[in-house]
Amino acid sequence: MSHLRQDFLRTLEAGTVGLFLVQAVRFTYASLYARASSADLVQRVPNRAALQGVPGVVELSTVQGEIVALLALLLLPLTALLVARWRWSLPLAVILVALGRSMALQSADLQVTAASLVIGAGLLYLTLTIIRRPMFFPTTILLGFAGDQFIRALGDTYDRTWQTDYRINMAGQIDIEMGIIIAPATIALILLALLLWYLERRADLIARRQEGYAPPLTGQMNAWGGLSLGAIFFLEFTLLALPNAVARWADVPYAGVVPWLLGATLLPLVPEVRAQAARFAGMFDAAWRGWLWALLLSLLLVVGRRYDGLPAALALVLAQFLVGLTLWWLVQTGLPRRNLTAIAILLCPIGFAALAAGDYFTYDYAYVRDLGQPYQNVDEFLRSFRGMGLGLTLVAALVLAIPVILWRGRIPWRGGRGLYTFSGLLLVLVASYVGALAASGAVIRRPANPDCLRVATYNIHGGYSQFFESNLERVAQLVELNGVDILLLQEVDTGRMASFGVDQVLWLARRLRMESAFYPQNERLQGLAVLSRVPIEQVRGLKLPSTGNQAAVMQVALNPERLVADPLADGLGPLYVYNAWLGFRLAERDGQPVPEGEQDQNRQYRRMLDWIAAWHNPTWKDRIIVGGTFNFGPDSPLYRGPESPLYAALGNPALQDPIASLRAEDAMTVYLVDGSAARFDYLWTYNLPLTGAMVDNSPLAAHTSDHRSTIVAINRRQGVSCPP
């Protein structure tokens, strides 16, 4: 019974530390991305005094200090070379993790450094666990990722536990701030670690008094194990441990993925499952077992990416199960003369950082600046990561399988007591069921008056304000304040590490109780979206020719007539909404001016217009909305009022630009850090009576994005009226 109690406490401690480590890695990566981007923009501001009170502003020296602190704290596992034999080293690592997690909520200025402490101390805990409790190494990681999935399911993919002022409503009566919740949790973790230290010390003293005492086996990780762990972390953080990323890759509903992915994450912890896996692996020759493992995992990733629907989702869920099982191959047990796990585990953040850097440039390849001598080829190399998202996951799959390939002597999966198997299966079932409940969505709120609709287009800058402060809540507030019924979104992320792993489309849709449609531009996790209180009937999309950042347009067919009993609506057909993002205009390429005929914008614009015309020629009886970020101003050759190619190509001089009637200073939609402003966002309508138009230049909008939302009020059809 004492042994069972200790195993339960070890599992609880390991899972909590693993959760804090996973959360800290996600938070630190996105925070440093945002703060480094802010510091870069600050350097370009001509008048620093104008930045007083602007949210998100960070000085370059601050970011440099945070990066240095992170690099220094990543060396904490090296202290295991000195303290690994001391029993108090494990509770010390737990105390450091708990202090860092609590400190992150106590001081906003120290959040990144405190999260870095959690990472460094968490890696130290993993090192000591490998050496002292090798069988709990996979437990720490798997419970950590499962806990993160569950917390994100509760927050609609958003981990709000890093926000001190975020309040949780308890029993519909009491609001408790997150800071008040985390502080007792960290204290409980410290007390748990001290209790476990006491119980283990007492058990060890008793064991030493008995005859035939033998020291317990220790674990070790070699260099290949460290690199493999980095590859596992990359796959988990970018894809397999994020149900929203898996859902976007497979194009299936998020709520349907959560319980299956939670089950796949936790199932390797069940002893009988591991025993069955060992029997299956034993069917293959040891020389080929590892290569077959890598091939199977790669095949599942390819199926998950190349196909849509249930087969793709099941392939990625199975891939998550295989990755979890691989953790047992990273550690070997015995009584080594020298244990260099502390050095080997440093290869984990190195390998993870290399793969994560590649992942970053698969999205931001177009924004790499030209470099001078002797780095003139580096910029082209970084741009070559375009479209390499699947390739990076396959590289990670090969690297993580290296221990399986090299370790041919035995299969590390073992069974266990029936009680442990029962407890593990119970955990899987309960977690999957509760996860399914947590991931369920809210009821859609329909328009107050379906005859009178407000349409908006908004570029949300990847979920950040102009100086990269997280802006999702403010976006939701602006939509509510403006009474928007149909919302066109550009530059939205649905699970990138750079945006905290949040599915911004799903989060905003549930926060606003709207339907949603998403079309990816780059990879599967960045693109365009339409949120609507009007029923969505169909979604299509088209990628436009692009040498720079990938441009795209999506078509969403809405059916407002489902909300009204209108005998005169026969034959109206859907309300077609087109949402687009076009590339930037280039002044020069490789030091030479870019001719008009070679501009991406021109080709993209023409292709978009031809696509729209193909859907509505020759009758042009449909109701149409065309909006988005076009990245050219009214002075561009692509826009000349009623003579614009948009009007000419569509063969329809009645297509309206409601914002054109506003004063130029009131129509600006994008504000740059140098103080200039321009109109790059448009919202055109056709066959829809207009009742009003505006650009939201409120103070709240100024602190939400570098763009402003364009809002147009319309009637559902000709002949209906709206109250003034």
Is position 374 within any domain?
A: yes
Q: Can you tell me the mean pLDDT for 222-238? A: 97
The answer on 423 and 474 residing in a single domain is: no
The answer on 174 and 240 residing in a single domain is: no
The answer on 388 and 275 residing in a single domain is: yes
Q: Give the separation between CA 225 and CA 247, rounded to whole angstroms.
A: 30
Condensed to tens digits (0 to 9), the pLDDT of residues 559-588 reads: 999 999 888 888 888 999 999 999 988 766
The torsion angles phi and psi of 551, rounded to 5 degrees, stand at -95, 160
pLDDT value, residue 643? 45
Is position 628 within any domain?
A: yes
Tell which of 388, 418, 441 closes a domain.
Answer: 441
Residue 252: pLDDT band by 50, 70, 90 thresholds?
Answer: very high
Beta bridge partners of 678: 670
pLDDT value, residue 31? 96
The answer on 597 and 473 residing in a single domain is: yes
Q: What is the dihedral of CA 8, 13, 18, 23, to 10 degrees?
A: 130
6 close to 203: Cβ distance less than 8 angstroms: yes
Q: Give the separation between CA 363 and CA 348, rounded to whole angstroms.
A: 23
157 close to 508: Cβ distance less than 8 angstroms: no
Q: What CATH number has the domain bearing residue 567?
A: 3.60.10.10
The answer on 523 and 393 residing in a single domain is: no
Beta bridge partners of 538: 557
Look at the chain and report how many structural domains it folds into.
3
The answer on 694 and 673 residing in a single domain is: yes
Residue 22: pLDDT band by 50, 70, 90 thresholds?
Answer: very high
The answer on 482 and 346 residing in a single domain is: no
Please return the burial class of 121, using the count of CB atoms within 10 Å of its CB with bins 0-12, 13-18 and 19+. buried
pLDDT value, residue 50? 79
Q: Can you tell me the mean pLDDT for 662-685? A: 91
Condensed to tens digits (0 to 9), the pLDDT of residues 204-219 reads: 787 777 766 666 778 8
Q: Give the separation between CA 245 and CA 392, rounded to whole angstroms.
A: 15
* pLDDT of residue 183 exceeding 50: yes
pLDDT value, residue 620? 85
Is position 52 within any domain?
A: no
Is position 241 within any domain?
A: yes
* pLDDT of residue 636 exceeding 60: yes
**Pairwise pLDDT comparison (48 vs 605), residue with the higher score:** 605
Query: What are 515-519's contacts with CB under 8 Å, separation 24+?
Result: 515/444, 517/554, 517/556, 518/248, 518/492, 518/494, 519/552, 519/554, 519/579
pLDDT value, residue 724? 64
pTM of the full structure: 0.95
Is position 721 within any domain?
A: no
The answer on 368 and 465 residing in a single domain is: no
Note down the domain range covering 421: 222-441
Q: What CATH number has the domain bearing residue 276?
A: 1.20.1250
**Pairwise pLDDT comparison (203 vs 593), residue with the higher score:** 203
The answer on 385 and 496 residing in a single domain is: no
Is position 51 within any domain?
A: no
Radius of gyration from C-alpha coordinates of the chain? 28
* pLDDT of residue 528 exceeding 80: yes
Give all strands (DSSP E) within 138-249, no chain letters. 167-170, 174-177, 218-220
Condensed to tens digits (0 to 9), the pLDDT of residues 364-417 reads: 998 888 777 777 788 888 889 999 999 999 999 999 999 999 988 789 998 888
Tell which of 188, 216, 244 closes a domain.
Answer: 216
Is position 105 within any domain?
A: yes
The answer on 415 and 277 residing in a single domain is: yes
The answer on 235 and 205 residing in a single domain is: no
Is position 437 within any domain?
A: yes
Computed over every residue of the chain, the mean pLDDT equals 90
* Range from 180-189, 597-606, 710-719 carrying the lowest mean pLDDT: 597-606
Tell which of 441, 469, 503 closes a domain.
Answer: 441
Tell me the two tokens of residue 581.
Answer: 């993002």
Nearest CA to 656 among 647, 664, 648? 647
The answer on 639 and 658 residing in a single domain is: yes
Answer positive or negative: Cα dihedral of 195, 198, 202, 203: positive
